[in-house]
């Protein structure tokens, strides 16, 4: 049981979170634009931090623990490879999303495509992403919370289900009341709590006599476990406990294919989902760009190291955990290594991580259901008050569905792989639809359906597992959507011209439309954006590995990498300012 001090800290956390939401409740009720997009007035530092907070769920430290237990630090390339796609969004898409002036990324479909296929695709994606995929994501976050509650409090399964349902109802209630302003500001507060708790846990776990600090970790675990880059074969003698390195084909799949080809929430190629929602809610195009740049740095370079330290320490503290239960080492470290008061802080941190993710997903999913399905196809001419009430009711519906999924989702990292495989090949369409006029609604429809067939063929006909399955699924999906594109007619010319005039994406892929309409090419230089993209990728990776080297006592390497990262940051700031990217 928790000490009274722990209970007080958790109660204080809930009180502050609810106070923030109640403060913004009246503003959220004014209109759906206020409810879903904060009236398009979010500053970059709130918008970007809210993105990071959403991706920092209760499941992510546990999933990272699973990856480290299986494949060492290098196992994190499952998601570190997504840096390229995240930085691509910063320079190629952030300003365009803000400029589009839409409420959701699904609404984008009917300003870019035309006719019944576009209407069908918008309605289908609203339900598929807003209900099915969104609830799967929230379901695995609920699984993580259930595991934490089960280990720390020794609850039985029935009581865990009731407790998770209660947490979901609480988050659903304040999300329904507060809207995007309350969700974003609460996310900002919750991210600070979550990061503080994880850093405190990492420091105290290292101080455990059985661990003996960083030096003790290095002495207890094989050197290959600490490698930032994958090797080949087993990781030394520790392979007997199930830790294996990433194969060359797996790292090739992650680095050369996954980041641009697969749809994944929070790392969609071309932006999308709740990341697009925050970009569209930003004050202007400059704030949209800065928010996504801050997100890319904080998400990949700052967040993971406390989790990785605790994951490594858990291998020393709990060497006998079964292979499928390694992730619980993180929770056991919380329970065994934290004194009263600090345990309450870290439990509050995990509740903050959980609530920040769930609240954003509820608001995001509700925006699809109301703006892109209910308002578009069912009730078209009601007043704003009607749609705000409908938004709040749809939020509660999502709460119930996602809570029940705790009964069927078992593996957190397994859910990650499933989502990546079932979106493999879609990413290229999501990128090219901005920069190539010939992509149409049938392209996107085919690219959404084909990965499921490719997944079945790869897994059951060819016997290929993730991540090597990505090679086949992506090739299969690409062939299908390209065939669908050229076998169907192009988007209506009027729609194409209106879209181009609205967002000015630029590039050779729109030359035919520009020339036919007599539109001057006023878009940005794609070569210049490409150079910024490459610099941004290097900046994020150098920052990631600089912090990692300093954490593990490799100060010379860490300081050199830090100096290189600072230089690239200054270079990038100069290039952005020189090109006028700072202007709205």
What average pLDDT does this structure show over 62-78? 88
pLDDT of 561 above 60: yes
Q: CB-based contacts of 113: which residues, under 8 Å, 6+ apart?
A: 121, 440, 441, 444, 491, 495
User: What is the tens place of the pLDDT at every residue in 435-477?
Assistant: 999 999 999 999 999 999 999 999 899 998 888 899 999 999 9
C-alpha to C-alpha distance for 329 and 233, rounded to whole angstroms: 25
User: What is the tens place of the pLDDT at every residue in 483-541?
Assistant: 999 999 999 999 999 999 999 998 999 999 999 999 888 777 899 999 999 999 999 99
User: What is the tens place of the pLDDT at every residue in 109-130?
Assistant: 999 999 999 999 999 999 998 9
| pLDDT for residue 304 | 94
SS (H, E, C) 479-544: HHHHHHHHHCCCCCHHHHHHHHHHHCCCCHHHHHHHHHHCCCCCCCCHHHHHHHHHHHHHHHHHHH
Among candidates 509, 179, 170, 489, which has minimal Cα distance to 360? 179
Strand segments (E) across 237-380: none
| pLDDT for residue 265 | 75
Residue 238 confidence class, pLDDT cut points 50, 70, 90: very low
pLDDT of 322 above 80: yes
| pLDDT for residue 266 | 74
Query: What tokens appear for 119 in the block?
Result: 């209407």
Strand partners, 56: none
Tell me the C-alpha to C-alpha distance, in Å, between residue 238 and each of 67, 208, 242, 319.
14, 22, 7, 10
| pLDDT for residue 239 | 45
C-alpha to C-alpha distance for 270 and 267, rounded to whole angstroms: 9
Residue 235 confidence class, pLDDT cut points 50, 70, 90: very low
What average pLDDT does this structure show over 384-393? 92
User: What is the tens place of the pLDDT at every residue in 23-57?
Assistant: 888 887 778 898 999 989 999 999 999 999 988 87
pLDDT of 147 above 70: yes
Rounding to the nearest 10 degrees, give the CA dihedral for residues 276, 139, 73, 330: 130
Residue 569 confidence class, pLDDT cut points 50, 70, 90: very high
* Residue owning tokens 């892929």: 509
3-class DSSP state of 113: coil
Query: What tokens appear for 266 in the block?
Result: 């929070």
Task: Give the angle subtended at the CA of 160 by the CAs of 154 and 164, to the nearest 5°.
Answer: 135
* Residue owning tokens 């065994």: 336
Percentages (nearest 5) of helix, strand, coil residues in the chain: 80, 0, 20
Query: What tokens appear for 131 in the block?
Result: 């209900």
pLDDT of 240 above 60: no
What average pLDDT does this structure show over 539-565? 96
Strand segments (E) across 259-373: none
| pLDDT for residue 584 | 37
pLDDT of 376 above 90: yes
Residue 383 confidence class, pLDDT cut points 50, 70, 90: very high
Rounding to the nearest 10 degrees, give the CA dihedral for residues 572, 578, 582, 584: -140
Does residue 570 or residue 351 have the better pLDDT? Answer: 570
C-alpha to C-alpha distance for 581 and 573, rounded to whole angstroms: 10
- DSSP string across 33-46: HHHHHGGG-B-HHH
């Amino acid at each position: 049981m928790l000490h009274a001090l722990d209970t007080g800290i958790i109660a204080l956390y809930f009180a502050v979170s609810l106070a923030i939401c109640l403060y913004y409740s009246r503003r959220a009720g004014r209109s759906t634009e206020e409810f879903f997009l904060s009236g398009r007035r979010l500053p970059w530092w709130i918008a970007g931090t809210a993105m990071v907070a959403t991706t920092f769920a209760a499941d992510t430290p546990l999933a990272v623990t699973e990856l480290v237990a299986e494949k060492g630090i290098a196992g994190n390339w499952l998601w570190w490879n997504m840096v390229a796609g995240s930085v691509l969004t910063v320079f190629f898409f952030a300003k365009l999303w803000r400029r589009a002036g839409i409420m959701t990324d699904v609404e984008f479909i009917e300003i870019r495509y035309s006719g019944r296929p576009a209407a069908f695709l918008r309605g289908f994606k609203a339900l598929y992403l807003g209900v099915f995929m969104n609830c799967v994501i929230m379901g695995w976050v609920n699984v993580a919370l259930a595991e934490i509650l089960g280990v720390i409090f020794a609850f039985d399964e029935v009581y865990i289900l009731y407790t998770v349902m209660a947490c979901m109802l609480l988050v659903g209630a304040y999300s329904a009341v507060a809207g995007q302003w309350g969700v974003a500001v609460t996310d900002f507060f919750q991210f600070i709590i979550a990061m503080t708790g994880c850093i405190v846990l990492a420091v105290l776990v290292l101080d455990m006599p059985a661990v003996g600090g960083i030096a003790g970790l290095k002495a207890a675990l094989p050197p290959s476990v600490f490698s930032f880059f994958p090797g080949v074969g087993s990781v030394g003698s520790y392979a007997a406990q199930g830790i294996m390195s990433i194969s060359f084909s797996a790292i090739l799949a992650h680095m050369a294919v996954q980041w641009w080809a697969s749809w994944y929430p929070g790392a969609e190629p071309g932006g999308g989902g709740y990341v697009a929602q925050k970009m569209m809610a930003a004050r202007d195009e400059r704030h949209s760009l800065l928010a996504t740049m801050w997100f890319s740095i904080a998400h990949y370079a700052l967040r993971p190291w406390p989790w990785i330290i605790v994951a490594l320490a858990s291998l020393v503290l709990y060497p006998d955990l079964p292979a499928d239960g390694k992730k619980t080492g993180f929770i056991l470290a919380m329970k065994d290594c934290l004194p009263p008061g600090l345990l309450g802080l870290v439990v509050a941190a995990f509740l903050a991580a959980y609530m920040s993710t769930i609240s954003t997903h509820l608001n995001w999913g509700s925006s699809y259901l109301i703006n892109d399905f209910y308002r578009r196809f069912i009730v078209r001419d009601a007043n704003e008050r009607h749609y705000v009430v409908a938004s709040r009711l749809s939020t509660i519906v999502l709460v119930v569905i996602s809570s029940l999924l705790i009964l069927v989702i078992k593996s957190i990292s397994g859910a990650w792989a499933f989502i990546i495989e079932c979106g493999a090949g879609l990413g290229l369409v999501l990128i090219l639809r901005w920069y190539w006029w010939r992509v149409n609604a049938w392209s996107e429809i085919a690219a959404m359906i084909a990965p499921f067939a490719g997944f079945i063929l790869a897994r059951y006909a060819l016997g290929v597992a993730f991540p090597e399955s990505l090679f086949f699924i992506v090739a299969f999906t690409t062939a299908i959507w390209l065939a669908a594109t050229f076998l169907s007619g192009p988007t209506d010319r009027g729609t194409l011209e209106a879209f181009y005039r609205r967002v000015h994406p630029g590039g050779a892929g729109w030359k035919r439309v520009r020339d036919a309409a007599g539109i001057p090419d006023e878009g940005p230089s794609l070569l210049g954006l490409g150079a910024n993209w490459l610099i941004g990728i290097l900046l994020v990776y150098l920052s990631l590995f600089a912090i990692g080297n300093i954490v593990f006592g490799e100060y010379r390497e860490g300081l050199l990498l830090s100096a290189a990262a600072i230089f690239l940051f200054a270079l990038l700031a100069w290039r952005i300012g020189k090109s006028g990217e700072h202007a709205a």
